[in-house]
Structure 1
Amino acid sequence: MKEVSLYGSGGKPSWFMDLNPKGEVPVLVVDGKPIVGSEETVDFLMPGELSPEALRWRSIVNDRLKSAGKRAVFSGGSETDRNSLNAVLQDLEACLSNGPERASEFTAADASAFPFLQRVHGEFGFPSECKRLEAWYASASSRPGVRKTIKQDFWWWW
């Protein structure tokens, strides 16, 4: 594993840009072939068909949470942007209402959602009415494989 500085005076190294001309992270190289991007990497590492609920969860994260979280952070947590973010979090909460198996399984959708929910949780917390989402986050955070990926001192860029 090689960590690549995403920012700074030197930019990304040429060997990295040769693997991935767009400069996106992460890049996983398998048998000399790069697998580029979070979703593609997670799908490769955790193959299998996702349930309709997991696909809906993933869609909410990718299509709405990323942009709502970014807006809320960059606006300094304005009330309008926080309300918009909270609406997305409540939709994720609704995805968790389909029974306890959703919270006990850890799917590719969960793996790709965790970093973004970690950012939101660290920046704003979750709305008090999102008890299942809070429980999901606590459960995911306690998984040894997930804990290995959590940095305590970091600066997130959306």
Structure 2
Amino acid sequence: MDWIRDHLWETWLGLGIVLGVAEMFSLDLILGMLAVGALVGMVAAVAGLAIPLQILCAAGASVAMLALVRPTVVKRLHSGPELSLGHGKLVGRTALVTADITGLSTGRIKVAGEEWSALPYDEHLSIAAGETVEILQIKGATAYVHPVARLES
């Protein structure tokens, strides 16, 4: 126990290293925050503060890291681009009508270099070839589309 008291900053540094290594195995970002608290305790020991103040500094820094830093880091790590796979990635995209589309007959559209059969989302609409449409839904191999409004000049 006397060795620890004589080498407080080394003890805090060792604790920080052990917690940091343990964090690499857990990847929860909890032990890493505690490791930062231990490093703050080390700085307090180097500054010559009493042991209770070192412990308070380490605990305060750990709690602050857990409450303020960890949520932001976790949110940033878990966010990312939304990945759409299959035909779902085409919903919301615009396409060019290559064959007339009516509620009674299936037409054709070209989107992302592929030809798809298409029906109007509103069965009372007729969409002429050459129009631009937005894909609202895909069922099977048929895209349900709606014309994109154009500005008339």
Where relative contact order (Cα < 8 A, 6+ residues apart) is larger, the structure is 1
- Confirm or deny a common fold (TM above 0.5): no
Higher helix share: 1
Report the structure number with the largest CA radius of gyration: 2
Bigger share in strand? 2
TM-score, scaled to structure 2: 0.25
